[in-house]
Amino acid sequence: MKMDRRSVLKLGALVGAAAVLPVERLAGAYAGHDAEHEAATLAVPRFAVPLTVPRVLRPSSRDLFTDYYDITMREARQVIVPGTKTPIWGYDGIFPGPTIRAWTGRKVVIRQRNALPEDVAVHLHGGNVPSSSDGIPGQEIKPGQTRVYTYPNHQPAATLWYHDHVHHQESLHTYLGLTGLYIISDVAEQKLHLPRGRYDVPLVIQDRFFNPDGSFRPPDPDAGEFFGDTMLVNGKPLPYFEVEQRAYRFRILNGSSLDATLSLHLDSGASMAVIGTDGGLLPAPVPASEIPVFPSERVEVVIDFAKYPLGTQIVLQGSILGIPVEVMRFDVTRRAHGHDHDRLPSTLVPVSRLREADAKVRRDFVLNLDRATGTMRINGKEFDPDRVDISPRLGDTEIWTVRNGEQADLPIPHVFHTHLVRFQILDRDGAPPAPREAGWKDSVAIMPGQQVRLIMKFGDFTGRYLYHCHLLGHADAGMMAQMEVVRH
């Protein structure tokens, strides 16, 4: 499946096309009430399949300092909706791809082989990696070829993910399945005695449309389709998950290729404890009954099922631009195993704040749709892989003010993502960030007319890296720029 430039630009403006439609029409389109929509879409049963956890990949070899892996990107057919098989593009032919589990300071080397019919590139999202392993333009893997990626893992425990990053195609390639988890652990995390093993569960949330034969259906921007009508969790549609009467740690990734800007909550009204975000653990748990999770963001939560009677069913719900969606269901079916209920600690890990006074450079960025061309732009420029837009210096601290320049009549959100460097949020429109955003981040949602100030320190690598909107249709349509980190 290949998408021409016209389709890419249409997909890039997907949210814009939807945002001007009445809420009633959006809700009707999502629910699939019209006959044409029903004929084109496969009906998916609610809570009919169990949640599965992506398998953890074993190294093909190891030495004193490094784990080595081999992965082949290939086409396959996978049962997603019962009774059908969905053609997918997957790492090792599975969707989501296998999980890589790494350890801080221990190197991972992955040989990626492309057995697909198109160029691909692999980006470790959230990774502090050399430019040569970042998956930037010019690093495409052609069909039949391989590329070796080296990840030093000089960063604290965090939930990262890897995905395709071929410009003009990454929204489609990830939609077809090229996503997977990469989890880093360290000693500080292990000492906290958070839920672990089978009680440490990743939840990769992705939206999809399905054709009647079970294949993925690309969205139709002309119909105002801006997020899929079925939510998948770990590649399963609206699954259920049987839990014990105890605490669980859930690593939530919004891995949507489209614009599923989720706000999650439990239908029981109970609070969840947010313990981590993109770049790792927070200083302390933050209770929250509603948790926004935009595409590419990660949030780690602890949910305690100890207070629920056996037989209780709790639905994880969400909303997208005010439209309610269901994500999955938790079924309390067993008493807690043993006596270790993993009581949540009151403090987690220290997070040192970067100081504004140390910032040597301040930069301003405006993200917006160019209505005349249908392209998405940063500071008025469409992405050009041959152009370097900024040149931060290794070791420098910088403050970036990023503004969503969309107008009220076309209220398009954006999700700003930086490669290589993590950041801390200084403020949103002058107000301090919410406690759940007080840690390290690599992606930040910015609503129309809003601006955020971000502070970051550049290290450990020089070379070219990207920054872009992580609503991938927007990136494909040009909302991406390139920096070259240089030495003093």
Shortest CA distance to 380 belongs to which of 390, 389, 370? 370
Instruction: Give the confidence band of 9 by pLDDT, cuts at 50, 70, 90.
Output: very low
| pLDDT tens profile 230-269 | 999 999 999 999 999 999 999 999 999 988 899 999 999 9
Instruction: Give the confidence band of 15 by pLDDT, cuts at 50, 70, 90.
Output: very low
CATH value at residue 369: 2.60.40.420
Buried b (16+ CB within 10 A) or exposed e, 133-145: bbbbbebbbeeee
The answer to whether residue 43 is domain-embedded is no
Q: What is the pLDDT of residue 198?
A: 96
Least confident of 38-42, 55-59, 144-148: 38-42
The answer to whether residue 225 is domain-embedded is no
Distance from C-alpha of 407 to C-alpha of 106, rounded to nearest angstrom: 47
Shortest CA distance to 94 belongs to which of 178, 152, 22? 178
Instruction: Give the confidence band of 341 by pLDDT, cuts at 50, 70, 90.
Output: low
Distance from C-alpha of 463 to C-alpha of 457, rounded to nearest angstrom: 15
The answer to whether residue 423 is domain-embedded is yes
The answer to whether residue 431 is domain-embedded is yes
Instruction: Give the confidence band of 320 by pLDDT, cuts at 50, 70, 90.
Output: confident
The answer to whether residue 453 is domain-embedded is yes
C-beta of residue 150 within 8 angstroms of C-beta of residue 176: no
Domain that holds residue 391: 356-485
Half-sphere exposure of 90 (CA within 13 A, CB side): 18
For the chain, the average pLDDT equals 91
The answer to whether residue 444 is domain-embedded is yes
Q: What is the pLDDT of residue 340?
A: 58
- Burial (CB count within 10 angstroms: exposed 0-12, middle 13-18, buried 19+), residue 347: exposed
Q: What is the pLDDT of residue 14?
A: 44
Instruction: Give the confidence band of 342 by pLDDT, cuts at 50, 70, 90.
Output: low
| Total tally of structural domains belonging to the chain | 1
Distance from C-alpha of 288 to C-alpha of 274, rounded to nearest angstrom: 7
Q: What is the pLDDT of residue 219?
A: 85
| pLDDT tens profile 213-228 | 999 998 887 777 778 9
Q: What is the pLDDT of residue 31?
A: 41
Instruction: Give the confidence band of 51 by pLDDT, cuts at 50, 70, 90.
Output: very high
Largest Cα span, the chain:
64
Distance from C-alpha of 41 to C-alpha of 23, rounded to nearest angstrom: 21
Task: Indicate whether 472 pLDDT > 70.
Answer: yes
The answer to whether residue 416 is domain-embedded is yes
> Which amino acid belongs to residue 371?
R
pTM of the model: 0.93
Least confident of 226-230, 374-378, 440-444: 226-230
Percent of residues, the chain, with pLDDT higher than 90 = 84
Segment 416-423 mean pLDDT: 98
Instruction: Give the confidence band of 200 by pLDDT, cuts at 50, 70, 90.
Output: very high
Task: Indicate whether 411 pLDDT > 80.
Answer: yes
Q: Highest-confidence range of 3-7, 11-15, 34-38, 232-236, by mean pLDDT?
A: 232-236
The answer to whether residue 251 is domain-embedded is no
| pLDDT tens profile 68-112 | 999 999 999 999 999 999 999 999 999 999 999 999 999 999 999
Q: What is the pLDDT of residue 447?
A: 95
Segment 360-382 mean pLDDT: 96
Distance from C-alpha of 81 to C-alpha of 309, rounded to nearest angstrom: 30
Q: What is the pLDDT of residue 222?
A: 77
